[in-house]
Amino acid sequence: MRPIQGRSTDGRDLFPSTGVSNEHASHHFVQTQAAAPGAALTEGEVRKVDREAGRISLKHGPITNLGMPPMTMMFKARDAAMLEQLKAGDKVRFAVELVGGQYTVTRVERVQ
């Protein structure tokens, strides 16, 4: 096997100024977060509140401390009382942590 090189056989540069060299790995460092775990607030919208079960369904943006992409999913509320003021359609900011293997909303506040 011949190594892939940036030069053709007559010596000219095949990829003169694209910058597509061996810097690939460095891209990943751009996304590194320095925030304390569990501290970041995530934007979301309430889809459903189940006060009996102490659960809430949220359509959420990226959750940086958990590395989770945007989606709609069910969360456990750390305290069912947190859900009293909330209803479907509310815009919220919330914090999520993994507690006992469950994604748990540890803080939630309504956004006007």
Nearer Cβ to Cu ion (24/77): 77
Nearer Cβ to Cu ion (6/62): 62
Contact residues toward Cu ion (CB under 5 A) are 68, 71, 73
Nearer Cβ to Cu ion (40/73): 73
Q: Least CB distance from residue 15 to Cu ion, whole Å?
A: 39
Sign of CA dihedral 32, 35, 38, 39: negative
Nearer Cβ to Cu ion (6/37): 37
Q: Least CB distance from residue 73 to Cu ion, whole Å?
A: 4
Q: Least CB distance from residue 29 to Cu ion, whole Å?
A: 24
Where in 54-101 does DSSP place strands (E)?
55-60, 71-77, 91-99
Q: How far is CA 77 from CA 19, 42, 58, in A?
A: 47, 15, 11
By beta-carbon distance, which residue lies closest to Cu ion?
A: 73
Count the Cβ atoms, other than its own, within 10 Å of residue 31: 8
| Burial bucket for residue 43 (CB in 10 Å: 0-12, 13-18, 19+) | middle
